[in-house]
Chains A and B, each alone.
Chain A
Amino acid sequence: MSNSRATSYWKSNLKIVSSLLCVWFVVSFGCGILLVDFLDNFRFGGFKLGFWMAQQGSIFVFVVLIYVYILLMDKLDDQYNEAAATDNDQGPSANSHQATEEQSA
């Protein structure tokens, strides 16, 4: 039982990481390098879009990506810990964090 839960946790983890890294690749290598000349045809304010993506935009997206990752993983961890706590029949009062700590210790 706990093994299948571990497998599904790992699968969800891989899904989160791979989809975020796709965005990471498209934004940095895609917009900032491969498509930069095409994107330069568009302008906003004093920037050409491709140049802006390369020198500013991609970095902002990186920050957002890490925060999305933190949010999704915290949620996934909570689900996993809750399921582990109920499985072990610790009762509703048991703190899920402590429960996992005891297990691995």
Chain B
Amino acid sequence: MSVQLWTYIFVFISFSLYIGIAVWSRASSTKEFYVAGGGVHPLANGMATAADWMSAASFISMAGLISFLGRDGTFYLMGWTGGYVLLAMLLAPYLRKFGKFTVPDFIGDRYYSRTARIIAVFCAIVISFVYVCGQMNGAGIVFSRFLQVDITTGVVIGMAIVFMYAVLGGMKGITYTQVAQYCVLIFAFMVPAIFISILMTGQAIPQVGFGSELTEAFGGGYLLDRLDGLSEELGFAVYTEGQKSTLDVFFITAALMFGTAGLPHVIIRFFTVPNVRDARKSAGYALVFIAILYTTAPAVSAFARTNLINTVNNAEYADIPDWFSQWETTNLIAFNDKNNDGRIQYVGDPEVNELEVNRDIMVLANPEIAGLPNWVVALVAAGALAAALSTAAGLLLVISTSVAHDLLKRSFMPGITEKQELLYARISIFIAVLIAGYYGINPPAYVAQVVAFAFGLAAASFFPAIVMGIFKQRMNKEGAISGMVAGFTFTAAYIIYFKFINPTANTEEFWWFGISPEGIGTLGTMINLGVALTICRFTPPPPQEVQEIVENIRLPGEAVRS
């Protein structure tokens, strides 16, 4: 059977599964719509969190980015997993004890202020929108490459599927589809990785193969030594050595960690489990499920890079394998025979190099480059779609709850009934799907850069405000509000300046302290903390009942949802 037929089969089966779950799990109350009724098993929530978290960026782009960054790619790996340690110990259990529906709920109640709530709503919506556009676009790319439909049709199909289960089922539908999507995406990521590991090193576990010797067919010697050797020979940076400054890597890693812990679509997943104990437990499960992919990804990066160099460098263009010409049509790989010798020179020197390789190809085309069976190649499409759609749904729910619950019910229209609130939640998720779809078809500049934006903003706004809300009883509304505004504005201004207003100045000599826009969220976090702590000293302490809330969320036992 052809790759395309296999792809249709996998995508059809997985989509039918998602729609089946959507019909089965219709939400009938706001509690079901916002937090899946609050009765999700920690294991199911762990899987749902992992799928919610691992987006098109993790599935399609990350391994490719690392294979071109080498050791510097570490900040993605540590940043996007280390944040869970912070989430599990500093946020999740206490927020679950607090027992409300959304992140702005916590900010609004803890800082006893409608202004704080509305600022939190604004941050949540900006962060989620920025992030969701990237997902829709990722889904569109997969559709266009694997199913030969154009990107617009691809995005519309993706929107229709998300619409089905998000609008009908809310958090309940999203949770159980995310469980299914986790299974699809991890299977789709691991099968090619295991195949390639066996092919190149004879080891079935990619994490072990990563540090093993290559088979004779691939030239023998340790994989990483061989890759270092090849890189040096061709004039690329040595794979296991860093190029970026230590300070910048430090700041980027920290920004990704704080951002991870502050992203509202991840935080609200912990509101769906029955109690505090289960919130801790499901953070553990979530990190295990995420770590399976995140420890495999760097191995895939090294395998794919070695394999690519072996296959293309100095190869006759006339004898190049089929996958090469197929990916050439999508412009993800481009050959320009500068010296007209009919051979591909793939080297570090831009004057001589004849091959441009898009980073995403390292995961998408990896099974083809390694000559794996057609069904394995097709799996990647289903996995990438699962990753993109699961994250998109989680983000859309944040937007919907922020509008219906925090903005309407809790701020401007407190008189509405539960039924009306549920209707508004469905309408806002519907509008959000349409806007996200529009930006998926007309993506703003670079998707990956835009996602880095979301992390910086979450790190500089929510993370410090929530942590201080729990750990510093004296923190008051004046401090928290000015901290959030200062952190958010500073980070947004720095990123917008270097990414959009003056991109030519986006080099180390112009950056403050040599910190890139990707890492500036860390400085934003510090500014937020500094401003909040200073203002808090000169303004009155929070009222008694708020201090009691803080004392209560610190203790074990169950809160009652209001």
Interface residues of A (CB under 8 A from B): 6, 9-10, 13, 17, 20-21, 24, 28-29, 32-34, 36-37, 40, 44-48, 51-52, 54-56, 58-60, 62-63, 65-67, 69-70, 73-74, 76-77, 80-81, 100-101, 103-105
Residue interface bits B73-87, CB-to-A below 8 A is 1, else 0: 110011001101110
Which B residues lie within 8 Å of A34 (CB)? 246, 250
Is residue B328 contacting chain A, with contact meaning CB distance below 8 A?
Answer: no
Chain A interface main SS type: helix
A65 to B283, CA, bound (A): 11
- B222–A46 CB distance below 8 A: yes
- B81–A59 CB distance below 8 A: yes
- A60–B211 CB distance below 8 A: no
What are 27 pairs between A and B in contact, CB < 8 Å?
Answer: A9-B555, A20-B85, A21-B86, A24-B82, A29-B250, A32-B253, A33-B253, A34-B246, A36-B242, A46-B211, A46-B223, A48-B240, A55-B73, A58-B77, A58-B81, A59-B77, A62-B85, A66-B89, A67-B284, A69-B89, A69-B280, A70-B284, A76-B556, A77-B277, A100-B556, A100-B558, A104-B557
Query: Which 8 A/B pairs are nearest by Cβ-Cβ distance?
Result: A46-B222, A100-B557, A46-B211, A77-B556, A54-B74, A45-B211, A55-B298, A47-B211
CB distance from B545 to the nearest CB of A (A): 15
Interface residues of B (CB under 8 A from A): 66, 71, 73-74, 77-78, 81-82, 84-86, 88-90, 93, 207, 210-213, 222-225, 240, 242, 246, 249-250, 253-254, 257, 276-277, 280-281, 283-284, 287-288, 291, 294-295, 298, 551-552, 554-560
- A28–B253 CB distance below 8 A: yes
- A28–B211 CB distance below 8 A: no
CB distance from B11 to the nearest CB of A (A): 30
CB distance from B494 to the nearest CB of A (A): 22
CB distance from B374 to the nearest CB of A (A): 31
CB distance from B39 to the nearest CB of A (A): 15
- B211–A36 CB distance below 8 A: no
Which A residues lie within 8 Å of B551 (CB)? 6
A81 to B82, CA, bound (A): 31
A33 in contact with B284 given A55-B298, A56-B207, A81-B556 (CB within 8 Å): no
- Other CB < 8 Å A-B pairs besides A24-B86, A46-B210, A66-B89, 20 of them? A9-B554, A17-B90, A28-B82, A29-B253, A32-B78, A33-B74, A40-B240, A47-B210, A48-B240, A51-B224, A52-B211, A55-B71, A56-B298, A58-B81, A60-B295, A62-B84, A69-B280, A77-B556, A104-B557, A105-B560
